Structure 1
Amino acid sequence: MKNFALIGAAGYIAPRHMKAINETGNQLSIAYDINDSVGIIDSISPSSEFFTEFERFQEHAWQLKRKPETALDYVSICSPNYLHHAHIAAGLRLGCDVICEKPLVPTPELLDELAQVEKETGKRLYNILQLRHHEAIKALKEKVASEQRDDKYQVDLTYITSRGKWYMESWKGDPRKSFGVATNIGVHFFDMLHFIFGKLQKNVLHYAGDYKAAGYLEYEKARVPWFLSIDANDLPEEVKGKQATFRNISCDGEQIEFSKGFTDLHTISYQEILAGRGYGIEDARHCVETVHHIRAAKPEAPAKGEAHPFLSKLIN
């Protein structure tokens, strides 16, 4: 049994980490969040210590190190994006391997910094890249790898996940903390596209705003116009009033159906990490570089065949 700490215990994704720790036969020893709305712990690990000040959390973690049976083995991080770097470094320096949500950090330079901390501590950092474990994604990757063709796949990525007014008042609505829509909700999909279609060859931004972004990515084996939004007004007419989220990813006109099978992906990720097969810094580098470029780019007019169909609504 491994001993885990959890940073960001009140966040949206934290229960999946608690569940994964529990389902892999391990123990959540200590949790931390500035928000004390963490009653979910009672149903998963009621004996866990909990702190709302990082200093008290860190001191308790150091005390646990005094005994081999209580010393922490892993620190899992679900905190806001802009805190990942500091929390990862703290976890490594506590003598723990670290498991962190995406995006690991906002820039490739900070990835290099964390690689240096890995060397200094002898510990490892793992990124949750859960879509790589989805059966539908793995099947498509195998199909693409097995097919020999001269032309590239035509892939369309549309993801609209409606958010209320609370979103812009939270850290997620602050680009200094979330790094913007393309990073916060797009990094998962950009990693998936790289995983399936290979290295990125072209990255063009067509539109960027507080609520949505659009652009074009070209990989070794695919051309991908993309559109991401948190604005309910962008939902297609046929789903407005019926559902708050619209996800459409198609490959050569055939929809990739992966709306099911999400609930266990964090547990599978933990199983792989514990077995020594987790995704590390270099696995995450590609998607960090992708979103870093998008944030720095200036929108430009799309070339022929590179515009997402929804883009016309934004620039006309």
Structure 2
Amino acid sequence: MKNFALIGAAGYIAERHLKAIKETGNNLQVAFDQFDVMGRIDSYFPNAEFFLNKDTFEYYLKEQRSSNQPVDYTTICSPNFLHAEHIQLALNNQTSAICEKPLVLYPNEIEILEKTEKETGKKVFNVLQLRLHPSIIALREKILNAPKDKIYDVDLTYITSRGKWYFKSWKGDVKKSGGIATNIGIHFFDMLSWIFGEARQSKVHLFEKDKAAGFLQLKNANVRWYLSLDYNDIPNEAKGNGMRTYRSINIENEEIEFSGGFTDLHTQTYQNILSVNGFGIEEAKPCILLTHEIRNSKPLGKIGDFHPLLSN
């Protein structure tokens, strides 16, 4: 049984990590968050220590290092702009880090973490759960077994409607979240590059606070992508079914279905990490560089091969 610490325990995604720690037979020893409504912990680890102050939390980690129950892993579910700082905190206190997407926001932060990994001997793992989705794995196998020189035409559409709160939170601040391409798009960019190979060219047609679109040339695919937080972008048929989120990957005019099967992917992620098969900095790095390039590119407008939804 391994001992875990959890940073950002009050956040939305943290409950999936609590569940994963529990389901893999491990123990949450301590949690930290500035928000103090933490009743959810009682359903998973009622005896876990809890701190509202980062310095007190870090002091606890240091004290535990010399005890017979040191913390083995620190799970990080804090806002994107704090990931680099909190991963450093974990490594410097002799715990490996498991971090939600995006691992970090800036290329120089990757270099710092690579250096700290070597200095401390501890590892950094990123949650890239779409690589574990059965439909995505099957698609990758299909592509790997196809002719090596085939170039596929792909349309990626991901619309997840958000209310006014989103733009008043850290998520609506591009400096804190990385913007829409980083905050909601990075999993899909990682998934597509995992299937079709590394990115060779990127063009941005639109980049606004609530939507973005562009073109991505991968080794074996030309991808037109569209990301949106705007409910009005959801197709009428989906709206009629009460859906507020719509995801679609269309490959050579064939729709790839992967709307379900997400509930257990965090637990599977933990199982892989604990068996030394997790995704580390090397796997996360390409899409950190890509999304950094996207948000710093000048949008071209409706020029070239752009996503069909831009026509509207």
TM-score higher than 0.5: yes
The one-letter code sitting in structure 1 at the alignment partner of 2:118 is K
Paired residue secondary structure (1:190): helix
Q: Does residue 102 of structure 2 align to residue 103 of structure 1?
A: yes
Question: Structure 1 residue 303: deviation in Å?
Answer: 4.9
1:54-133 to structure 2, matched below 5 A, reads 54-68=54-68, 70-133=69-132
Where does residue 158 of structure 1 map in the other structure?
157
1:271, 1:148 → 2: CA distance?
Answer: 33
Deviation string 1:106-153 (CA, Å, 9 cap, x unpaired) is 122211110001111111101111111111111000000001164411
Paired residue secondary structure (1:297): coil
Where does residue 134 of structure 1 map in the other structure?
133
Q: CA RMSD in A?
A: 1.1
Where does residue 9 of structure 1 map in the other structure?
9
Instruction: Work out whether residues 205 and 303 of structure 2, in 8 Å CA contact, stay in contact via their aligned partners in 1.
Output: no
Where does residue 193 of structure 2 map in the other structure?
194
2:51, 2:67 → 1: CA distance?
Answer: 21
The one-letter code sitting in structure 2 at the alignment partner of 1:243 is M
2:71, 2:139 → 1: CA distance?
Answer: 38
How many residues were matched structurally? 311
Instruction: Work out whether residues 249 and 255 of structure 2, in 8 Å CA contact, stay in contact via their aligned partners in 1.
Output: yes
Where does residue 36 of structure 2 map in the other structure?
36
Question: Structure 1 residue 37: deviation in Å?
Answer: 2.3
Deviation string 1:264-311 (CA, Å, 9 cap, x unpaired) is 11111111110011111111011111101101100114554x210111
Scaled by the length of structure 1, the TM-score of the pair is 0.96
Where does residue 270 of structure 1 map in the other structure?
270
1:39, 1:252 → 2: CA distance?
Answer: 48
1:235, 1:167 → 2: CA distance?
Answer: 18
Where does residue 260 of structure 2 map in the other structure?
260
Scaled by the length of structure 2, the TM-score of the pair is 0.97
Paired residue secondary structure (1:269): helix
1:25, 1:252 → 2: CA distance?
Answer: 43
Deviation string 1:215-272 (CA, Å, 9 cap, x unpaired) is 0111111111000011112112223362111111111111111111101111111111
Unaligned runs of 5+ in 2: none
1:262, 1:159 → 2: CA distance?
Answer: 15
The one-letter code sitting in structure 2 at the alignment partner of 1:247 is R
Q: Does residue 278 of structure 2 align to residue 284 of structure 1?
A: no
2:159, 2:39 → 1: CA distance?
Answer: 30
Paired residue secondary structure (1:240): helix
Instruction: Work out whether residues 186 and 287 of structure 2, in 8 Å CA contact, stay in contact via their aligned partners in 1.
Output: yes
The one-letter code sitting in structure 2 at the alignment partner of 1:257 is E
1:288, 1:176 → 2: CA distance?
Answer: 14
Q: Does residue 248 of structure 2 align to residue 248 of structure 1?
A: yes
Deviation string 1:177-201 (CA, Å, 9 cap, x unpaired) is 1110111000010000011000111
Paired residue secondary structure (2:236): coil
Paired residue secondary structure (1:239): helix
The one-letter code sitting in structure 2 at the alignment partner of 1:296 is N
2:239, 2:262 → 1: CA distance?
Answer: 24
The one-letter code sitting in structure 1 at the alignment partner of 2:2 is K
1:224-243 to structure 2, matched below 5 A, reads 224-240=223-239, 242-243=242-243
Tell me the percent identity. Answer: 52
Deviation string 1:155-185 (CA, Å, 9 cap, x unpaired) is 1100110001111111111111111011100
1:84, 1:156 → 2: CA distance?
Answer: 30
Paired residue secondary structure (1:299): coil
The one-letter code sitting in structure 2 at the alignment partner of 1:183 is T
Paired residue secondary structure (1:260): coil
2:176, 2:14 → 1: CA distance?
Answer: 18
1:165-244 to structure 2, matched below 5 A, reads 165-240=164-239, 242-244=242-244
Instruction: Work out whether residues 302 and 310 of structure 2, in 8 Å CA contact, stay in contact via their aligned partners in 1.
Output: no
Question: Structure 1 residue 6: deviation in Å?
Answer: 0.3
Question: Structure 1 residue 28: deviation in Å?
Answer: 0.3
